[in-house]
Amino acid sequence: MKRIIAGAVALLIAGGSYYGYKTYTGSEIKSSAASIVKEVSVSKGNVTAGVTESAAVSIESLEQTYDLSLTSTGISASVESGKSSSGSGSGGGNAAAGMGGGMPGMGGMGMSMGGMSSGKSGGSSGGMGSTSVSTQSESSAVQLVIDEVKITEGQSVKKGDVIMTITQESIDEARSELTKAVEDAKLALTQAQIDEQETKLSAQFEYDTRITEGKNAKTVYDTAMNEIARNINELYTQIYEVQTEISECDEEDEKQLTQLNTQLESLQLQLTSALNSRAAEELSAKQTYDEAVMYYDNAQDLYDVSVNDVGTASEEAQDAVDSAQADLEAFEEYIADGTIRAEYTGVITSVGYSSGDTLSADTAIASYADAESITVTVNVTEDDISAVHIDDTVEVDFLSYPDDIFEGYVSSIGSSSTSGSSNTVSYPVTVVITTTPETLLSGMTANVTFITKQVKDVLYVSNKAVKTEGKESYVLRKADDGSEEKISVEVGFSNGIIAEIKGVSEGDTLLIKGKES
């Protein structure tokens, strides 16, 4: 354990910072023997008493990295078209010889739903167009080239200071690339919006077609069935008429009789064919009718399926636009004036780049000894630990800067104790140093004073300058002519080294006298 009584401000010696001795003889100081006289100055500041412990300073190391990570997105929009018209047309009905008419077919629906599909005679209706947006994204960093490095190891910097500059050429190239990405994304968005509008129009057309065909399905079916029966009846009528002509034909008119027999055979063949295909044609008409009714009943569901993804492509394209725009804005913010600025306040411990290098996320721009994370952990004995509390303000001085006093606060008090060689129990106390000299390196020795009593902004002087006679205290003040004068003073708080004093003025020179050895 080490108990030290400390003063907050170092004593200043009259005539300068020199702290020494001077011998006065003759008329300067009347004495029967030579005396040693030391001059001290009355100063103003704080008088502090407390417990002082020492330890090495610890400074956290911080890294500033190139973190302009952007999303490079390639995007394209395309429409996959499967459109075709639907309707009714002339089917392949069995026509009677010599007649130009045929059985009307029904427009089949070229859509699919689940396992259903059709493509019947008379026409077909294809699938509607659908838009797809293809995006390809990868994390990347734009290529920025160092123009000039403005920092060196050991240099102190503040947050916001310029530490490097970037070549204008690399800035322009990166800006052009990012701007083009925004334009490409906007074009893809426009294409997606156009394609999706076409998809909606096509879906509406298909819906209207299904509704119309469904409503007309019964009429078309009845017409088809009547046409089948009409064709067969027409053949029967024609056969009957030819047979009548044959019976009335003169047997001697062989040529006419031959023609009628040939016509009769042809009509009988047509009738046989019509009768044989009648069942198939009626089944086909029924199937076409059933499909028309089915698509009529499911028209709304099929429409919903067709337009279900409408808007998805546009949303993806809009996301790509937003991402590309955000990348451009992040780039402009990061490199707005062509400089890279310090992210921390502290001392530079390493620099990762030289002029001409390309910034990379794999290499730190610079490393710092963080001025905001300077700590010292000292061991305080159990005799003194009761004077230490969390958030207490402490005074700190460094061996490298013996004339300066800095401040800190207690951030933690360890609960586990340690025993030294003399079996003295101590507790680790961590102090955060809040004010520091311009240059401070990790490992420097710091003296931490835990304040037990303090008077602020008072006049003080070395205890050795104060003399006492009975109840009276006095000092010897050096006059302008070099002589001394005895001045009565009032002594206040003393820490054993310096004392608060009243009755003199700041800057007065006092004399501390002693016999020459």
Q: What is the full DSSP assignment across 354-417? A: -TTPBP-TTSEEEEEEEEEEEEEEEEEETTTGGG--TT-EEEEEETTEEEEEEEEEEEEE-SS-
Q: What is the pLDDT of residue 9?
A: 37
Contact indicator for 144, 335 with CB cutoff of 8 Å: yes
Please give the Cα distance from 70 to 441 (Å, whole number): 37
3-state secondary structure of 509: strand
Phi, psi of 24 (to 5 degrees): -105, 135
Residues 6 or more apart from 124 whose CB is under 8 A from it? 84, 86, 107, 108, 109, 110, 118
Residues 6 or more apart from 7 whose CB is under 8 A from it? 45, 46, 47, 48, 460, 495, 497, 498
33: left (phi over 0), alpha (psi -120 to 50) or beta: beta
- Tokens representing 136? 């390809």
Per-residue confidence of the chain (517 residues) as pLDDT tens digits? 344 444 433 333 333 332 333 333 333 444 444 567 889 999 998 888 888 899 999 888 889 998 887 765 454 444 444 443 333 333 333 333 333 333 333 333 333 333 333 333 333 344 444 445 555 544 455 789 999 999 998 788 889 999 999 999 999 998 998 999 999 999 999 998 898 889 889 889 999 999 998 899 899 999 999 999 999 999 999 999 988 888 888 777 788 888 988 988 999 999 899 899 888 998 998 999 999 899 889 889 888 888 877 778 888 889 999 999 999 998 998 887 899 999 988 888 889 999 999 998 889 999 988 766 789 999 999 888 988 999 999 999 998 888 788 899 999 998 877 766 667 889 999 999 888 887 777 788 999 999 888 899 999 999 999 999 888 999 999 988 888 899 999 999 988 889 999 999 999 999 998 765 5
Q: What is the pLDDT of residue 107?
A: 36
Q: What is the pLDDT of residue 287?
A: 92
CATH number for the domain formed by residue range(s) 22-65+363-515:
2.40.30.170
Annotated domain spans of the chain: 22-65+363-515, 70-318
Please give the Cα distance from 432 to 375 (Å, whole number): 5
Contact indicator for 341, 162 with CB cutoff of 8 Å: yes
Element (H, E) at 452: strand 445-462
Residues 6 or more apart from 62 whose CB is under 8 A from it? 343, 344, 346, 367, 368, 370, 373
Residues 6 or more apart from 201 whose CB is under 8 A from it? none
What's 213's DSSP letter?
H
CB atoms within 10 A of CB 368: 27
Contact indicator for 360, 350 with CB cutoff of 8 Å: no
Please give the Cα distance from 212 to 87 (Å, whole number): 10
Q: What is the pLDDT of residue 506?
A: 93
pTM for the predicted model, two decimal places: 0.47
- Tokens representing 243? 């047979």
Half-sphere exposure of 417 (CA within 13 A, CB side): 11
**Computed over its alpha carbons, how large is the radius of gyration of the chain?**
53
For residue 408, give the amino acid letter: G
